[in-house]
Amino acid sequence: MPSAPDPVAEIDGATFRSVVGHLASGVTVITCAAEGKPHGMTASSVTSLSADPPMMLACVNRSAPTAAAIRAAGGFVVNVLRAGQEQLARQFARPSENKFAGVATTTGALSMPVLREALAYLECEVREHVDAGTHTILLGRVVDAFASDGEPLAYFRGSFGRLHPFLEASASDPGATQEAVSARGVLEAGVIAIALAGVGDRELHTIARKFARMDELHSEDVLVDVDGFFSANVDFHRAIVELASNPLITSVLDRLDLRPLLAHTQAGTARCSPQLIEVQRDLLKALLERDVDAATEYVLAYAAMAVERTRQLSGASGR
């Protein structure tokens, strides 16, 4: 009689997370509303399940408040994040009493919050849920969906990025970074000229919060979190472009994809330029005062200084 096979050994959690981290995925924020309160959480374990009928599959940790809210609401929204929205992903990944602070939303067909700046969204009614391990697998029937132009935010081996076939070539070209920084400055100057005088306090306060986030990620002339700093920098300048309330203009900025370009230029050093921080502080002050001329001067000055900083770093590294 043959002996019974040895039982399969179980791998430890750390090994599992390390290996499964090699599976690149998109990044989503799952939202819902229960008892009049919005809920949301960042999730990468989301995929399409069926086209007929249209269905989505999402896995959520049962310990998260959003998981219980979805059960109570009977539905959820899959908000697909776009490239450059790393900070938004981090915001919804952290425990917080108000994850929606500073986040623009609209109400979807299921009376649930939809992130206005997301690349795409799918509203789903829960048809089935299955508990497995620490998570609940949600099977949702899609009742409404929408997608805009742009590139998705990607997640791979614990880091955010984007699915872009020529990103490495662009990132390794200092000229591409300098041109992108200059283009962003011109775009911002145009938006300031046409929109600043008429914007409300809420939009300007959003810009101030974005700057504060960037400002806390450096200590004098040292970046305490290089990737986080440049994500915050991109968010700050994107908020300025968003003053135009024109998705087409914002999409032009997103296509410049400055975060990885700037981070690549900075690679190898955590030193930053205090002068670049200060000119952006002056820019913020001019924006809050709705001083079009001063804001235009500072945004173009910042762009010129950032281009020169890129040249210096590229020359120092031999790129």
Write out pLDDT tens, residues 257-295. 787 777 777 766 778 888 999 999 999 999 999 999 999
Per residue in 224-257, pLDDT (tens digit) is 888 788 888 888 999 999 999 888 888 888 878 7
The answer on pLDDT for 170 being more than 70 is: no
Structure tokens at 287: 């924006």
Q: Are 266 and 258 in contact (CB under 8 A)?
A: no
The answer on pLDDT for 306 being more than 70 is: yes
Angle at the Cα of 208 from the Cα atoms of 202 and 214, rounded to 5 degrees: 145
The answer on pLDDT for 316 being more than 90 is: no
User: What is the total residue count of the chain?
Assistant: 319
What does the pLDDT read at residue 183? 92
What does the pLDDT read at residue 2? 52
4 pLDDT tier (thresholds 50, 70, 90): low
What does the pLDDT read at residue 313? 79
What does the pLDDT read at residue 165? 45
Q: Taking residues 173-199, what's their average pLDDT?
A: 89
What does the pLDDT read at residue 267? 66
What does the pLDDT read at residue 3? 56
Per residue in 15-51, pLDDT (tens digit) is 666 665 556 678 999 999 998 899 999 998 898 888 8
What does the pLDDT read at residue 168? 46
What does the pLDDT read at residue 167? 45
Judged by phi (left if over 0) then psi (alpha if -120 to 50, else beta), residue 206 lies in alpha
